[in-house]
Amino acid sequence: MTTIQHWIDGAATSGDSTRTSQVFNPATGAVQADVLLAEASDVDRAVQAATVAFDEWGQSSLSRRTKILFAFRELVNSRQRELAEVITDEHGKVLSDAMGEVQRGLEVVEFACGIPQVLKGDYSDQVSTDVDSYTFRQPLGVVAGITPFNFPVMVPMWMYPIAIATGNTFILKPSERDPSVSMLIAELWAEAGLPTGVFQVVHGDKSAVDAILNHPGIAAVSFVGSTPIASYIHQRGTANGKRVQALGGAKNHAVVLPDADMEFAANHLAAAAFGSAGERCMAISATVTVGPAGDMLLDILDKKAREVRVGPGRNAESDMGPVVTAAARDRIVGLIDSGEREGGEIRVDGRGLVVPGHEEGFFVGPTVIDQVTPQMEVYREEVFGPVLSVLRAKNIDEAISIINANPYGNGTAIFTEHGGAARKFVRGINVGMIGVNVPVPVPMAFHSFGGWKSSIFGDHHVHGAEGVRFYTQAKVVTQRWATDDVTASFDMPTAR
C-alpha cells in the first residue's frame, strides 16, 4: 500500500506524522493508498522553510518569477492527461471532466504569467509643488491554502499561481480524500525551477488546519470548502491576526421562464446538475420553474436524466462517475429518502444504482425530485450529489424571492429569451456569480470567483484582480527631492 507523504523543504517526507487516512478509488470502492496526517511540528517545519525561502523569493525580479511561471505552465500543459488520471482515480470524476478541471486551473497560471502588467502601480506627478506620490504592492510573506476534495487541481490553482507570482511563499493543505495530485504539482514546480520552500504540501485533517490557523509565521489563509468549516477558518484565522478569504458551500438555483428554449434548458440543466456527479460548488441543485415552464421542462429533463451514462471515470463511455466516498453516497441517498418522505415526487430515481463490474463503487444515479418546497430537508441541505430539486413559482418575482431567501449565494442561472427579464434577474438576485443561459457561470481567471452570503467569509474573492489584492499589501510613497525653499510647518501638510 502506498503512503502519500508531505512535500516540505524541497522533498517528499514523512516528517513526524504517524496518523494516516485511507484514500479510496471511488469507482471500485477499494482503498488504494494511505495519506499521512501532519502534526503541528510538520506544519512548523514547512513554515520555517517557507520563511527562509521568502527572504529570497519576495525580493526576486518579476522577470525571474514569470520565467518560472511560464515553465510551470508548459509542464502542466504537457502533463495534463497524467494529472487528470490521478484526479479521476481518487476523486471519481470522468477523465474528460478532470481534463477540463486542469484546463480551468491552467488559465489562472496563465493569468499569473502576466503578473508584471497586473502589478504595475500608480504614479501621480506633482501632487504638491516638487512632490510626487506613487503606490505599489508587496507580498505578505508565508501564506497557506486549505482546499476541498472536489477540485484537487483547479481550486489550489485559484490560489498559488497568484500568491507565488506576487512574491509570497505558499503552503498547500489539500483534501485528505484525493491528495496525490498535489505531490505531482510539487514535482512540476521543482522541475520548473521554483526555489525550495516556495511551494510546499502538508497533508492532514483538523490538526494540520488548526496548526496553520495558529501559526504566527503564516500571514494569510485562503480556504475553499463547506460553509461550517469556512466560517470556523475565518473566525479563528482572523482572531489570530491573519488575512482570511474563506469560500463556503452552495445551493445554486436555475430559473426557467416559460419563454426559454426548453430543449436547450433541459440539456444544460442535466449537465449542470449531474456533471461531476453534482460535486461542484457551481452545480445546479435546484431549479425554480415559472408558471407553465415546469411541466414543459420536466417532460424533456426526465428523459435527459435517464440518458446519463453512469460508470467508472476512466471509461470513455461514462458521462458521470461515482461520488467520492461510501459515506457521501449514503448521505445523498438519505437526503433523497427525506425528499420523498416530505412530499417530493421522485421522477427519476438514482438510488440503488449498480454499475456492472463495479458493484462496490460509490455510485448514485441522476435523480430528479419535483414539487420540492423550501421547507424540505433535501432543499435546505447542500446535497453535493447528482440530485436536482424542482420548485414551482408563479412568476419571476417569486422565483427571485425564493433564491434570495436561501442562505447561500454562490452561483445561479436564468434560462429565458427575454432580455428585460434577464436584466431584472441579474440586478435583483443576491448571488455572486450569475449565468444568463449559462448554467455553470464559472468566471475566467482574469475575472474573480466568489459568492455572497454564506458562500463566502472575508472580503476578497479568489483569482483575477481580487486575488492579486488578497496576496499583496499596498505602499503609498510621497517623495520630495527639492528641499531648498521648503519651510517646516506644525500644521497638517497640505498641497502648495
Return the number of the residue (166 or 410) whose C-beta is nearest ligand NAD. Answer: 410
Q: How far is the CB of 55 from ligand NAD (least distance, A)?
A: 28
Q: How far is the CB of 185 from ligand NAD (least distance, A)?
A: 15
Q: For 102, what's the count of Cα atoms within 13 Å in the CB-facing half-sphere?
A: 26
Q: How far is the CB of 91 from ligand NAD (least distance, A)?
A: 10
Catalytic residue positions? 281
For the beta carbon of residue 456, count every other beta carbon within 10 angstroms: 25
Strand partners, 414: 255, 436
Among 441, 414, 428, CA closest to 259: 414
Q: How far is the CB of 162 from ligand NAD (least distance, A)?
A: 15
Identity (one letter) of the amino acid at 85? Answer: E
Buried b (16+ CB within 10 A) or exposed e, 437-449: bebbbebebeebb
What letter would DSSP give residue 202? -
Distance CA(151)–CA(135), nearest Å, equals 36
Return the number of the residue (393 or 413) whose C-beta is nearest ligand NAD. Answer: 413
Return the number of the residue (198 or 250) whose C-beta is nearest ligand NAD. Answer: 250
Among 27, 383, 32, 46, CA closest to 204: 46
Among 424, 458, 461, CA closest to 442: 461
Q: How far is the CB of 423 from ligand NAD (least distance, A)?
A: 26
**Considering just the CA atoms, what is the radius of gyration of the chain in Å?**
24
- State the residue number with the nearest CB to ligand NAD: 225
Burial class of residue 208 in the structure, from the number of CB atoms within 10 Å of its CB (0-12 exposed, 13-18 middle, 19+ buried): buried
Q: How far is the CB of 345 from ligand NAD (least distance, A)?
A: 26
Q: How far is the CB of 385 from ligand NAD (least distance, A)?
A: 11
Query: Which residue pairs, CB below 8 angstroms and at least 24 apart, start in 56-65?
Result: 56/195, 57/164, 57/167, 57/168, 57/169, 57/195, 57/198, 58/138, 58/139, 58/141, 58/167, 58/168, 58/169, 59/167, 60/167, 62/115, 62/116, 62/119, 63/116, 65/115, 65/164, 65/165, 65/167
Return the number of the residue (249 or 441) whose C-beta is nearest ligand NAD. Answer: 249
Strand partners, 103: none
Return the number of the residue (230 or 290) whose C-beta is nearest ligand NAD. Answer: 230
Return the number of the residue (410 or 416) whose C-beta is nearest ligand NAD. Answer: 410
CA dihedral 422, 307, 378, 280 (to 10 degrees): -70
Chain-centroid distance of CA 435 in Å reads 17
Give the pairing of strands 6-8 and 122-128. Answer: unpaired
Return the number of the residue (167 or 313) whose C-beta is nearest ligand NAD. Answer: 313
Identity (one letter) of the amino acid at 272? Answer: A
Q: How far is the CB of 289 from ligand NAD (least distance, A)?
A: 24
Residues that bind ligand NAD (CB under 6 A): 146-151, 155, 173, 175-176, 205-206, 209, 224-226, 229, 247-250, 281, 382, 384, 410, 451, 455
- Roughly what angle, to the nearest 10 degrees, separates helices 293-307 and 262-274? 50
Q: For 114, what's the count of Cα atoms within 13 Å in the CB-facing half-sphere?
A: 11
